[in-house]
Chains A and B, each alone.
Chain A
Amino acid sequence: MEYLITVVVLVYGAIAGWFFYQLQQQKILKRS
């Protein structure tokens, strides 16, 4: 089970992190 949970957290965590980073980028661009 730990292998499966690692994969789920890795895949969806990376995608969520990507969205978070892009939202930060968007905020910076809107400010400039």
Chain B
Amino acid sequence: MSFFNYRNNLIHAAVAAALATINIFIVLTLDPPNLAQGVFGNIFYIHVPVAWSAFLLYFAVMVCGIFFLTKKSIEWDHRGLACAEVGTLFMFLVLTTGPIWAKPAWGFFWPWEPRLTTSLVLFLIFLGYFMLRQFGGNPEQVSRYAAVVGILAFLDVPLIFLSVKFWLPEMQSHPQVGQYFDSANPLPTYLVIFSFISLLVLSSLMVRFRTNILSMKDAS
């Protein structure tokens, strides 16, 4: 039976589509959070929540890896792989939307500064994860190794968050954590949170759909 034949999944998809439509409308029509930047400043409402979603999905890869190693259930392996795939798609989007924003804001697409570099490293680690999945040999062994790589790869996420503090200020292009959120005008904060929630609903649907397909593949 098709994934979208189930009522719950269809409701989940309808809610995700509605939230995504509202989010696109907000991003395209609202005044930018930083008026000095002009309309392209609204990229902030997509770029930041996509990054948060990617990090959360990679956190889920780590949790699934731990459950797989302790419970030895193939379902956790499927969930972990689905989270890794969706997380890497989101990470790719972070790494492409960032430079599109950076060009008009900073004047160049890609400065080799700490947060960008550590984000690229995380993306490359997960490319290695998929190569391991594809070419690792024995499926049971590959699942175990992939779970370990997924757990270790998550160590890069706190490094990305804290990279703006770890390295010298002269090396930074990104703002400090929380610098964009102004308590006098909380609207941008609410909108980023709304965008994040809409992407969470969408990404959870993607993970569930992909897990379902991986289980179908395994059964066939």
Contacts and interface: CB of A to CB of B under 8 A. Distances in A.
Contact of B213 (A1, A29, A32): A29
B205 to A, nearest CB: 9
Interface in B151-200: none
Contacts, number: 65
B100 A3 contact: yes
Interface string A1-32: 10111111011101100110010011001101
Given A1-B39, A18-B206, A22-B210, A11 B46 contact: yes
Contacts of B101: 3, 7
Nearest to B85: A18
B43 interface: yes
Contact of A15 (B103, B104, B202): B202
Given A12-B20, A12-B24, A26-B2, A4 B40 contact: yes
B46 A22 contact: no
A14 B88 CA distance: 12
Contacts of A8: 24, 27-28, 46
Interface in B79-119: 86, 89, 92-93, 96-97, 100-101, 103-104
Given A11-B97, A12-B24, A18-B89, A3 B104 contact: yes
B111 to A, nearest CB: 17
B46 A7 contact: yes
A32 B213 CA distance: 13
Given A8-B27, A26-B2, A3 B93 contact: no
A23 B46 CA distance: 25
Given A3-B100, A4-B42, A22 B213 contact: yes
A4 B93 CA distance: 14
B138 interface: no
Contacts of B93: 10-11, 14
B47 A7 contact: yes
